[in-house]
């Protein structure tokens, strides 16, 4: 009995000591929190408790509503100015729309990507996702090594050779639209161009022909599931703790696993084929493997990086381009005058020929303006963030180091001080003779960490749009809404449902 009481006494003392340590840690954290807040109190911003209020006017509420978070950032930028703070516990984020600071931070390699956001993309619910690929790598040397391996596969010379694939895959979309036009059905353009862009990236990057407009595949569903899971994982801190979410979490893990195991198989098959001297496609995967082999011997870590970038290309290579094309179709449907102007240019440059050449793309200047204006209003990757460890002066405000700088291309593209009548769709903003936007237009980010595949994406978008405009007239379905859905990238919520008709050429 005495031993039992002794054990009970020791347990009670241990519990009291544990609670004492927790109390001390809590008090210490509170003092640290106060120190952090006082450090940045001179910078304007929403109330500190705004993140935790949970309703639609708070940041947390906005994060849980599709697309609303970017409108919230825009609202706060207009209210608080070109630099304002958001406090999330001891993390301080500064939302920056000052062009000079944007230039200084994004154009320099010394500011790494923000670990609060990008480390969350390493895995999804414990399953490795983007890992340390080109998008997420924080260490500059690690990123630079990967970029050096990838660069040859995206050179202008190599991209010229992809025109055949762009034309061939876009032709399959034209055949599908012909069937739709003949049967007088409505077309969900987002779904159709998603199939096309995924076909393109798998063909030109990995030598695999999915032909998704005719065949079924688990990949579109897996990509959509991963993107949806990514939003919940990054934005809802308690999502994983709710038992009702377990089935969806398992679905996300399976989707990540499918993409990575498929990538591992395709990479391994290609490496064996190259080693055996077999004929292999001259695609991006072959370019990457051969370039990597010229480096020092490949390590297991390098192979994981290659797999990380496989998943990155697989998702980013189709999702962002498909969304841009869909938004472009949506805006042209809303602006018949612009639609007629860009159709005339396509007719003048391409005429009736089926294959579009690389040189033709350079002649489609007004279509380029239309695509750029689409990205101004609807940047498919709406922002980026960087860690800033040193003191800075931003728009006349001294800012102590230790903050995360958030740069929203969605916000800067919709500010009156940068673009007159910013909500108006006006491709003439990007006329060759117009003044160039000064570090307020960056849909592909800026500097050394800008999107590697931006030229690839714009070439593909031009080919698809030029063929569509050459062959068909389209009008938006009655009641079509223009809301934006945020799934990590921005996409049209409605899917852009259109009525498709063959063009009636006047002789």
Provide the CATH number for the domain around residue 474. Answer: 1.10.630.10
Beta bridge partners of 84: 95
Residue 483 has pLDDT above 80, yes or no: yes
The answer, yes or no, to whether residue 156 has pLDDT greater than 70, is yes
pLDDT band at residue 61 using 50, 70 and 90 as cut-offs = low
The reply to whether 240 falls in a domain is yes
Phi-psi region of 439 (alpha: psi -120 to 50; beta: other; left: phi over 0): left
- The structure's pTM equals 0.89
Residue 426 domain flag:
yes
The pair of three-digit structure tokens given for residue 23, joined into one six-digit string: 């109390």
Averaged pLDDT, 141-150: 83
3-state secondary structure of 127: strand
328 annotated as a binding-site residue: no
Answer yes or no: is pLDDT of 507 > 50. Answer: no
pLDDT at 285: 83
Question: Which residue carries 């003191």 as its tokens?
Answer: 391
Q: 54: pLDDT confidence band, cut at 50, 70 and 90?
A: very low
Confidence label for 365 from pLDDT (cuts 50, 70 and 90): very high
Q: Is residue 396 part of a domain?
A: yes
Average of pLDDT values for 265-294?
82
Inform me whether the pLDDT recorded for 302 exceeds 80: no
User: Residue 319's pLDDT is what?
Assistant: 84
**Is 158 inside a domain boundary?**
yes
Q: Give strand pairing partners of 187.
A: 498
- The C-alpha atoms of residue 337 and residue 259 are separated, in whole angstroms, by 43
In angstroms, the CA 423 to CA 285 distance is 40
Mean pLDDT over all residues of the chain?
86
Number of structural domains the chain divides into: 1
Residue 19 lies in a domain: no
pLDDT reading at 489 higher than 90: no
The first and second tokens of residue 478, run together, are 């009655």
* Structural contact between residues 227 and 490, judged by C-beta atoms closer than 8 angstroms: no
Q: How confident is the model at residue 86 (pLDDT cuts 50, 70, 90)?
A: confident
Q: Residue 421 and residue 377: Cα distance in Å, rounded?
A: 12
Whether 437 is in a domain gets the answer: yes
Residues facing residue 23 across a β-bridge: none
Whether 26 maps to a domain, the answer reads no
Q: How far is CA 190 from the centre of its chain?
A: 16
Q: What b/e string do you get for 236-247 counting C-beta neighbours within 10 Å, with b at 16 or more? A: eeebeeeeebee
pLDDT tens column, 439-468: 999 999 999 888 888 999 999 999 999 999
Percent residues over pLDDT 90 in the chain:
45
Question: For 8-20, how does the pLDDT look when each residue is reduced to its tens digit (9 = 90+)?
Answer: 676 767 777 778 7
pLDDT digits (tens, 9 = 90+) for 160-189: 988 999 999 999 999 999 999 999 999 999
Closest among 356, 361, 380, 304 to 467, alpha carbons compared: 356
Q: Average pLDDT for residues 464-475, to the nearest whole number? A: 96
Classify 360 in phi/psi space as left (phi over 0), alpha (psi -120 to 50) or beta: alpha
Q: What are 362's two structure tokens?
A: 């350079």
Question: Which residue range(s) make up the domain with 410?
Answer: 1-6+39-502
């Amino acid at each position: 009995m005495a031993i039992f009481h002794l054990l009970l006494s020791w347990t009670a003392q241990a519990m009291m000591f544990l609670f004492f340590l927790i109390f001390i840690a809590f008090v210490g954290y509170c003092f640290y929190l106060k120190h952090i807040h006082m450090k940045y109190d001179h910078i304007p911003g929403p109330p500190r408790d705004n993140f935790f209020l949970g309703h639609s006017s708070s940041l947390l509420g906005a994060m849980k509503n599709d697309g609303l978070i970017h409108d919230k950032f825009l609202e706060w930028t207009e209210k608080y100015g070109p630099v304002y703070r958001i406090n999330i516990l001891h993390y301080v984020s500064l939302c920056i729309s000052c062009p000079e600071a944007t230039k200084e931070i994004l154009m320099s390699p010394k500011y790494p990507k923000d670990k609060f956001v990008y480390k969350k993309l390493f895995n999804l619910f414990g399953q490795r996702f983007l890992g340390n690929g080109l998008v997420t790598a924080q260490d500059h040397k690690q990123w630079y090594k990967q970029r050096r391996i990838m660069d040859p596969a995206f050179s202008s010379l190599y991209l010229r050779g992809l025109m055949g694939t762009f034309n061939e895959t876009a032709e399959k979309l034209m055949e599908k639209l012909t069937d739709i036009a003949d049967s007088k059905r409505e077309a969900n353009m987002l779904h159709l161009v998603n199939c096309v862009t995924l076909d393109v990236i798998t063909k030109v990057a990995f030598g695999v022909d999915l032909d998704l407009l005719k065949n079924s595949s688990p990949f579109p569903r897996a990509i959509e599931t991963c993107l949806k899971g990514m939003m919940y994982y990054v934005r809802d801190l308690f999502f994983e703790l709710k038992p009702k979410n377990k089935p969806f979490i398992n679905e996300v893990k399976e989707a990540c696993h499918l993409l990575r195991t498929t990538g591992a198989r395709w990479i391994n098959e290609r490496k064996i084929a190259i080693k055996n001297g077999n004929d292999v496609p001259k695609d991006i995967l072959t370019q990457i493997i051969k370039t990597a082999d010229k480096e020092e011997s490949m390590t297991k870590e390098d192979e994981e990086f290659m797999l990380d970038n496989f998943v990155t290309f697989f998702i980013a290579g189709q999702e962002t381009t498909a969304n841009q094309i869909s938004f472009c179709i949506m805006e042209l449907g809303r602006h018949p005058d612009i639609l007629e102007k860009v159709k005339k240019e396509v007719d003048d440059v391409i005429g009736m020929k089926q294959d579009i050449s690389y040189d033709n793309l350079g002649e489609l200047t007004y279509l380029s303006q239309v695509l750029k204006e689409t990205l101004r209003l609807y940047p498919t990757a709406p922002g980026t963030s960087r860690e800033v460890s040193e003191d800075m002066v931003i728009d006349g405000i001294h800012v102590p180091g230790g903050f995360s700088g958030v740069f929203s291309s969605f916000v800067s593209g919709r500010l009156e001080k940068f673009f007159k009548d910013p909500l108006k769709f006006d491709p003439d903003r990007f006329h060759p003779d117009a003044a160039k936007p000064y570090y307020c237009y960056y849909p592909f980010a800026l500097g050394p960490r800008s999107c590697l595949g931006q030229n690839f994406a714009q070439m593909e978008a031009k080919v698809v749009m030029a063929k569509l405009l050459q062959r068909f007239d389209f009008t938006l379905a009655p009641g079509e809404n223009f809301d934006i859905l945020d799934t990590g990238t921005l996409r049209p919520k409605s899917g852009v449902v259109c009525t498709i008709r063959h063009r009636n050429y006047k002789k």
